[in-house]
Structures are given as structure tokens and as C-alpha cells.
Structure 1
Amino acid sequence: MARGFRSFFTLERFRRQLANVDALPQLCVLGLVSGVITGSLMVGFRFLLGLGATLYMPDGDPEAFEGLAPAWRAALPLVAVLLIGLWLGRQTSAGRKIGVAHVIDRLTYHQGRFPRRNWFTQWWVGLVSVLGGLSAGREGPAIHLGAAAASGLGEKLRLPHNSLRVLVACGTAAGISASFNTPIAGVIFAMEVVMMEYTIIGFMPVILASTVSGLIAQLAFGFERPFQISNIALDSLINLPWIIVCGLGIGLLAAGFVRLARAAERLQQLPMTVRFALVGLLVGGFAWFYPQVQGMGYDTLGLTFSGTVAVDVLLAVAVGKLLLTAFTVACGIPVSIIGPILVAGGAAGALFGLLGTQLMPEVSAGPAVYAMLGMAAMMGAILQAPLAALMALLELTHTPNMMLPGMLIVVVACLTTRQLTGSKGFFIGVVHDGRHPLQHPLMQALSRISVPAVMERNLVRTERVITPDAARKLLETNPVWLVIERSSDDKPLLALKGAALARWLLEHADAIEQNPGDYERIDLMEIPGQRLELAPIGLQATLSEAFLALQNDNLGALYVVHGYRLKQQRISGIITRGAIERYYHYTDRLPESRSPEGSRS
């Protein structure tokens, strides 16, 4: 019984189950494990931030730049860009890519596999940029480190690539959850911004990962409410027209941010040392007068909600921090933008609230309400992720009564940025000129399943020339395909239907019996039948990878290679265009209630 139990729960069986589109229990297990890994990593990252802050920051607070002397806080960005430049200067162009844009790129074009060197770069840049006083957050490092660690688990176990996609989403959600105690926002961000699709198969493992990661963070740091807000309400629906105006203004600011951040092509003509020095000088010069533009800025956002921030500081944060963040990204320093845009959005909203108080002194809701709404509007407009912005509003402020005006302002801001100015979402624009292949329904469907789920396993390998007895022996197992090995390694393998050889033997049975000397050798290249030229593909590959490989007109099919050592590799199956088309048409015709993946995309 013990032997049967062990044979049932084997890694090889686990891999085969994950290759299918309905491997929900197996993916949930991976979600739990990735939540533990990512939660532990985020605890370590936050611990390192705190440890670095104890060296020179007041009270060891990584956001207390206001407590530093002006000369010291102005010099910090110069030190930061120097340290980041020294590290990035030793990396290749590909090795400098980190953050959310890198996660989307690896998911889209590399099946969710992450280079280790970029992972270490993210640790260094994430810590130095926040502690060094640049306008940067810790959301990008949390997402990259979590997604890469979860995907690395899948790569270590040699899991199919369709499961790596889900692991990337698990790591993304878990990273956000552990960093900010926002598990729902983490899930929505992972599905809306990174995966760009909604499926039941994808949601459940991601929810588990986000939950477990958040629990680990709470065990380490206790339950933390990011902002202590109470007695905040809209009070009067007369504010709605002004909320629309606020959404329009923030949408235009968001478009300006995206345009400036995308100006990298023009700035790239300057040497890296000049670009980095400009960033250090601008941030340092601004920080001399307004240290609120440095770091993540959540302390400033909290004061904005309480209404204790001066107008000039609000203006510096709303415009200055926004422009400094965009300019930093445009100059090639890969800082996290999510925290800074939330803070800038809150300041911009507070300014609109103050103006509304002047225009409607008796009925205006006040700056605190508009600060919360502005925070969500800026995030939704820049990322073009309205649901993630609304969930962030809910979980960061714990004010569910703000959801109705929040939905209004987020939609207005998103439409303003997208339709009036033509600006796409910030991270979508990063990926190959805004073209994201996973937005295509066919590629989305094919990426959810790996080749073992649809390949034909019933095959035999044979030499090109065989005897009649060898031919009969090959057909004993009724193989669907005969894989013909050629005379030299540089010639591709060919596939012949087993039925074609069986038919030839049947038609020539009498001749073989009467004149055996004339049929001592059968050349499988000469018997009637269609022969398909084959190319290899890995057992872990998804159907989308197979689909792209078969775009080569010379190829008729792919043979699936199993094994990780060259001399021990074997052919596990054959996959044809027809097999891929049958899978897609079958799932496409299923009623939604019977669809195996329960897709909502």
C-alpha cells in the first residue's frame, strides 16, 4: 500500500497533472508554497530597509527624510545614483531590466522564466533607491522578487510552463500583500496588470498565495493599517460634478507622467553618467526644500489625509514628485513608480479639494476625501487598472463608503488619459510598443495548457529501412505514429502514420510471401503516405509555444522531448497543428458552464 501511495504522489505525476487546463488542486498547492516563499522574502526585504535606515535615518524610519539636515538629504540621491550606476554599469542591457515591466516582459515572451542576475539587481536597486532618497517605492521590488522566486520554484521542479504563468501571478499578489497588507489589491493587480486576464483557475491559487503571504507579514510585523482614517464621508452628492472635474485634471497629470517617462529614447542619447547625475542633482536640489518628494512618501500621504500638509508642499508633491519619478524612469534608473504615483495622486486630490472648498464652502467634502479619491484616480489612470486602484483605495483607507465616488473618479481619470490624450497604460506601453500578445484570445487559451495534455503518446521510433518482420513487430502496439530516424544527425526526423505501414503490408502480403527475396528491406521513405518533418519541443512547453513553432511552413509536427540530459532524452509524443486546432475549437465551443478553465477573459 505504501508503494502504491508513493507512486500516486510522485513529482512526475504532479507535472503531468499540471499540464492540463483543469489542474486546480495542484495549482492551489503551488499557490500556498509560493505564498510562503514570497512572504518570507518580503519580510527579509522590509527588514533590510529597516536595518539600512538605522544607520543614518531618524528613529530608523526609512521615510523620515524630513528629519535630516538639508545638505545631507540633498546629497543622498547623488550617493544613490552613484551606487546604482556602478552596479548597472557592470550589467548588460538585458541585465538592467527589473520591476513590474520586466515581470510582464518575461511572462509574455519568456513563459515566465526569470534570469537570476536581474533578481539580484532588483534587490540592490530596490534597497538603494528607497534608502537613498530617490522618488521610489517598494512595490516594484516586491512584485519582481515575489514573481521571480515563485517562478524559480517551478523551474527548479521543472514544471510545465503553463503553471509558471500562474506562479508569476501568485508571486506578484503575494509580494504586494506582504508589503502593504492589501491582499485583495494584490490579487486584482496580478490579474489585471500582469496576467491581463481573469480565470477561475488563475484566481484561486493567486488568492491563496496572497493570503498566506499576508499572514506571514502579519506574524512578523503585526497587523498594520497603512493609514488611520475615520469619519470620512462624501456628505453631499453635490460634490459629484467637482469629482468629475478632479478626475479630468488627474487624468491629464497622469498622461503627462506617462509621456515624460516614455521619453527615454531621446534621453538615451546621453551617456549613462550624465543621465544619472541629472537625476541625482534634480532630486537632491528639490529635496533641499521639500524632502517630502523623497522615498516612498507614505508618511506624507498619511498627513495629507489628515489635512495637515501646507499648500506649497502639496503642490511640490503633486507635481514635483510626479515629474521627478517620471524623469528618473526616463533616464534609465528602474525605480518603482506605484508608491510615488499614489502619493502624488493624493496630493493632487487634496489640492482639488481645497479649491472645491473655496468654490463651495458649505457643501464641499473637504481635502481628505479628495486626497483618497485622487490617490486611486492617479493609480488607475497611469496603470490603466481601475479595479486594482479601487481595491487599493478600499484596503489602504478602510473606507468602503468611498467606493461609489471612487468608481466615478477612477473611470473619468482612466478615460481622460486613454481617450483624450491617447496614453496607454504605463506598463503596457513598456512591452514592445504596447503590443501584448497575451491579449489575443487564442494565445491566452493556448498558454493555459502544456503540450503533454494534447500530444499523441502512441508512437514508436524506427530506422528508415527495416525488414518485413521488424515492420510487423513495430505494429504490434498499434502505434499512431512512426518516427523515422534519418541516416545523419543533421537531417530532421520524419513522422509517418502507423496506418500507412499497416496498409502497405496488407496490400503486399501475398507478394512478400511468394517472393520474400524481393522484399528483404522496406524503405519507409518510399511507401505511400504523408510524411511530416519534425522539430523538437520541450515537454514543459505550452501550446502557444508549439503554435508559434509550427508557423514554419516546412514543419508538419513537433516531437516532444522528455529528459534533461542530452544523452538520456527520449521522445514522449508528437503534436500536430490539427491537435492544437482541435483543442482550441473544442474549448471555444464549450458552454461557459462546462468550460474546463472557467475562463472569464
Structure 2
Amino acid sequence: MTRPHLPRPSLDNFRRKLAAVDALPQLCLLGLVAGLLTGSLMVGFRLLLSAGALGFMPNDNPENFEGLAPWVRALLPLLAVLVIGIVLGRQPLAQRKLGIGHVIERLTYHQGKMPLRGWLNQVVVGVVSVLGGLSAGREGPAIHLGAGASSWIGERLKLPNNSLRVLVACGTAAGISASFNTPIAGVIFAMEVVMMEYTLTGFMPVILASTAGAVVSQIFYGSAPAFAVPSLLLHSLLDLPWVIITALIIGLLAGGFVHLARQQALAARLPWWMRMALVGVATAGVAWWYPQVQGIGYDSLAQLLDSQLALDVLLALVVGKLVLSALCVACGVPIGIIGPVVVAGAAAGALMGMLGGLILPEQASDIALYALLGMAAMMGAVLQAPLAALMALLELTHSPTIILPGMLAVVVAGLTCRQLCRCQGFFISTLTAQGLHPLQQPLMQALSRVAVPAVMERSVVSVARRISRERARALLDSKPVWLVIIRSTPEKPMVALPAADLVRVLMDEHWSEHEELDLLEIPAQRLDLAPIHLQATLSEAYERLLPTNIDALYVEHTTAPMIRKISGIITRDAIESYYRYTP
């Protein structure tokens, strides 16, 4: 009994499978590897933060700014902006872009390829901004490092660019998952905020990556939720109107935060050193009196949920963290904003819970409930990511009983921020303020999911312009679809000729006396060609064809240094046939 012939596993076959839109097994394998790598990096980053706190932070806790003397905690932000200014000040503007917004920009304009220099900058700036007492979170560095590491896997293996996009989403999800022990929120965040699309092909690898990242994190830090929250219930449905009012106010605060962070053009009028100084002095001034605004603020959030913070501290958290974080973004200091936004939202919710208790002491729910609702409402409104906010609320607290009021709060706050304040999501708004357009059209989004090798015609033969009839017959024996005519000089574009037209010429009696054929003179259809790389997506091919008079593209790849091989041809009709419905 003969065994069925199985294709030999090879990297080339793996790349070819990935070029198609339905390469789920291959993408899932990549997602698993990306999740393990990202989870390991996140553990390393958190250990780096802990190591940096040794010696100068009380109890070696990187969040314990309250235990420092006032002059020390005021000096730290000044030192932090000095280090960040030195590290980034002499680098080109493109290399100063870090964090989640940078990941979205690279995904939109560069197919998810992440430069190594920016990746290294993110490590330094992420550690310095958190330990230096700026109002900054660790999720921005987590996502940038995860996306960069996952993209690096694809670039090293020279995988098609459509798979790089999925790898970036895998790194994003694993970064959130490993950093906060929130695997479901990591998946939703990657699809809702970074990829901005939901597809089956994207979901499965991203879920695997998020799971792997969480497993690696739990090996080192355990599986306990980020915050210890008692079981909370809405005391009465009559409390829902106050939940709506709370969400409305938080939506307005979120809109103010986004608008302030967008003032990058206004801040750019100041010299770089003056912008750094402004951030440092403002943070130092507030931190002298209220150190709770420094760092991520999760220690303050834990105290807030236990009702251990005074009224003035809650006000400082709401106003101080929002203003200082927005000021950092506007002045060009690349920080993570999700942590500070979550803490400020929880403080705003707690304040509204206190006020509700004074107005209706019999009906008001627990202050901790309002704090959690404020946390989710602020995150959902700022990011315009309601599902990610709800999943974060569930996983950070392990308290499913608050999902119902949480859904109401997230929707009201999101609508308020979007409709009354005219704000899109934070990252879309800040990128738009820079003149970028991160939202892809549906057609380009669909074409980005497939790489050129999945659609190109592979039956191609390269020929010289003039060939003998005998040579022509020998070429046609391999049954090519296209002949690519190599020109004498690189300045002249290559030309594609259908092999069927050459067959007709050979059978035509009028050409039987010609022993040598000029392929540019015989009666045949000819297409002017331009090059495109084998790793490119259909969206890249479409954009390459769109503004030119080129009829088709020849696909090339490097087989050895300085040696390139033509792998196939892709025409406008081939691209159109991919996205057009044919019964």
C-alpha cells in the first residue's frame, strides 16, 4: 500500500501558505510563538521596573512615590525629562514616535514593520517615564515591545506582509495580556483599537497569542486579578439615572483630555528643550503636594477602592493625571496613557458616588462600584473601544455583577465624548492631528489581508527581446502563461506578453519565414511592467498600479545577494477578481 505523497515542509511553502487569506494553521503557530516571546519580554520589562526601583524607592516599590520626601519626588520628573530629552532630542522626529499610536501608524503605512531603533528607545523611555514619576502607564511600552518583537519574527523569516499585520495584533494582545493579566481584554483591544477590524483569521491567532502571554506572566506573577474587589451590586434600578449622569460627566472629561492631548501643533512652536521643561516643571509642581499623580497610579486605585483616599486627593487624581498625561502627549513625551486614564476615571467615579450618597443616601450604591464604572467609562470613552473597556472591567476585578451598569456607563460616556465633544478615539485623534489618516477604506483593508503570492500568475518565463523560432518553441514547451521580456537597460520598463499570442505568431504563415522574432514587434498584447516585492500585500500592489500607466507588476525576490528572480506576474484584473463577487 503506497502512502499518500505529502509536500516536504519548507520555509518557502510556509510563506506561500501565509500569503492566502485562510492560512489559519500557520497564523496560529505564529501567534503562539509571538505570545510566548511577548510574554517573556513583558516579564523582563516589569522586572526592569522593579530593579530600577531598588535603592531609591521606599520598600523597593516602583509606585511608592508617596513615601519619598517632597523635594525628591519633585526632582524625579525633572531628571526624567532630562534623560528623555537627551535620548530622543538628537534623533529624527520619526524615531521619537513610540507607543500605541506609533504601532497603529506603522500598521497603516508600513505594513506593520517596526524599526529597531524605536523599539530600543521604547525600553529606555518606558522605564524612565514610569520610574521618573511622570503620569505614565506601562501599557504603551508593553504594546510597542510586543508588536515590535512579533513583527521582528516575520521580518527575520521574510514572511509576506499580510502575516506581519496579524503578528502585530498578536504582539499587541499578548502585551496587554501579560502586562495586566487580562487575556480577553488583550484580544479585544488588539482588534478594536489597533487592527480596527474583526476577522476570523485575525481572532484565532490573536487569542492564542494572548493566552500564551498570560500563561508566561502567570508563571512569574500568579493568576490573581490586578485589584482585590469585593462582590458589588447595584442597590436599586433607581440608581441607574445617577449612573447615566456619572457617565455623562466622565465622557466630558474624556473629551477634554483628548482635545488637550491633540494640541501637538501648538506645542511644536516651542523648542524641544522648552517642551521637556514644561512637562517636568508641571509634574514636579503637582507632585510636591500630591504624589498620587505620579507613575501609573494603581496603588492609588487600590486605596481608592478601599475608600482610603481623601476628597482633595481624588480631585487631584481626576484633574492632575488627566492634564499631566495630556500635556506629556502634546509636548512630545511618548508615554502610555491607558493606566493614568483608568485611574482618573476611577477617581471621577468615586467622586460621583460620594455625591450620589449625599443626595440619595438610601438609594446610592457603594462608592467602589462607581469607581469601577468610572474606570471602564473613561477607558471606553477615551479609546472609543467599548468592548475592550468592558472586558478590562471584568478581568481586572473578577466581578461580573457590575457588567450591566458597566455597559450603560461605557455607552453613555462613549457617545458623550464622540457626539458632544466631537472626539474620535484617542490614538486616531492624535494621529489625525499629525496629518496622518490611520483609518483604512474597507477595500484596502480587505486587500491587506492577502499577499501577492496568493493571486499572482506563477507560470512565467523570462526571455530576451529577440529569440529564434527554435528557442520560442522550447520556451512554449513548459506551457507558460506570460513571457517577461527583459530590456537592454534598466531604465526601460519590462514588458509582459501572453504566451498564447506567441503561439499564434508561430502558427501564422506570414511569420514562417522569420527565423528570428522581435517580441516587441510581433502582433500581440503587451503590458508594461513595474516591480513589486514577493512579500507585498494586494493593497500595496493596488497602490503601485493606481497612480501610474503601468498595466501589471512583475513579482521579484532576492535569491542571493544582488541576484533577483522573477516569481510571477500580477495584473489589475487579478486584483479586481479577488474582491469582486462572481456567482
SS of residue paired to 2:247: helix
**What does residue 504 of structure 1 align with?**
505
Partner of 1:444: 445
The aligned runs of 1:187-198 (5 Å cut-off) are: 187-198=187-198
Segment drifting more, 521-530 vs 142-151:
521-530
Equivalent position amino acid for 2:485 in 1: I
Mapping 1:279-318, distance limit 5 Å = 279-318=279-318
8 Å contact 2:261–2:430 — kept in the other structure? no
CA contact (8 A) 1:356 1:366 kept: no
- Name the Cα RMSD after superposition: 1.7
- Structure 1 residue identity aligned to 2:271: P
2:134 is the counterpart of 1:134: yes
Alignment of 1:57-456 (within 5 A): 57-433=57-433, 436=437, 439-456=440-457
Give 1:242 deviation, angstroms: 0.8
Residue 421 of structure 1: how far off its partner (Å): 1.4
- Stretches of structure 2 that go unaligned for 5 or more consecutive residues are none
Candidates 532, 537, 542, aligned match of 1:537 = 532
State the Cα deviation string for residues 245-303 of structure 1 (Å, max 9, x = none).
11110111001000100011111111111111111111111011100000000011111
Distance in 1, Cα, partners of 2:341 & 2:421: 18
SS at match of 1:287: helix
Q: Would you say how many aligned residue pairs link Structure 1 and Structure 2?
A: 581
Task: Please give the alpha-carbon distance, in whole angstroms, between the structure 2 residues aligned to 1:234 and 1:576.
Answer: 61
2:27 is matched with: 27
The change in CA–CA distance for 1:274 and 1:17 in structure 2 (over 3 A counts) is same
Q: How far is 1:432 from its partner? A: 4.0
TM-score by length of 1: 0.94
- What's the offset of the Cα at 1:552? 2.8
TM-score (norm 2): 0.97
Identical residues among aligned pairs (%): 62
Conservation of the 8 A alpha-carbon contact between 1:181 and 1:214: yes
1-structure distance, mates of 2:47, 2:521: 70
Q: Offset of 1:6 from its aligned partner?
A: 9.9
Shift of 1:544: 0.5
CA gap 1:290/1:6 in 2 versus in 1, 3 angstroms: farther
Structure 2 match to 1:596: none
Secondary structure of residue in 2 paired with 1:495: strand
State how 1:466-545 maps to structure 2 within 5 Å. Answer: 466-508=467-509, 512=512, 516=513, 519-545=514-540
Give the 5 Å matches for 1:569-584. Answer: 569-584=564-579
Measured after TM superposition, the shift of residue 562 of structure 1 is 2.0
Q: Take 1:564 and 1:411, find their aligned partners in 2: how far apart are those partners?
A: 53
Query: In structure 2, what residue type is equivalent to 1:482?
Result: L
CA distance in 1, matches of 2:458, 2:225: 54
Q: Is the 8 A contact 1:345 1:371 kept in 2?
A: yes
Aligned equivalents of 2:509 and 2:375: distance in 1? 80
In structure 1, the residue corresponding to 2:177 is in which secondary structure?
Answer: helix
In 2, Cα distance between equivalents of 1:382 and 1:565? 49
Which residue identity is paired with 1:149? A
- Does the residue aligned with 1:144 lie in a helix, a strand or coil? helix
Please say if residues 437 and 443 of structure 1, whose CA atoms lie closer than 8 Å, have aligned partners that are also in contact.
no
Cα deviations by residue, 1:331-359 (Å, 9 ceiling, x for unpaired): 11011100000000000011111111111
Q: Does 1:568 align with 2:563?
A: yes
Amino acid at match of 2:496: A
Tell me the CA shift for residue 5 of structure 1. 9.6
Q: In the aligned structure 2, how far is the partner of 1:186 from the partner of 1:460?
A: 47
Q: How is 1:579-590 mapped onto 2 (pairs within 5 angstroms)?
A: 579-586=574-581
Compute the displacement of 1:460 (Å): 0.9
The alpha-carbon deviation at position 232 of structure 1 amounts to 1.2
Cα distance in 1 between the residues matched to 2:419 and 2:516:
71
* Structure 2 residue identity aligned to 1:449: V
**How far apart in 1 are the matches of 2:459 and 2:67?**
72
| Structure 1 unaligned regions, length at least 5 | 591-601
Shift of 1:10: 1.0
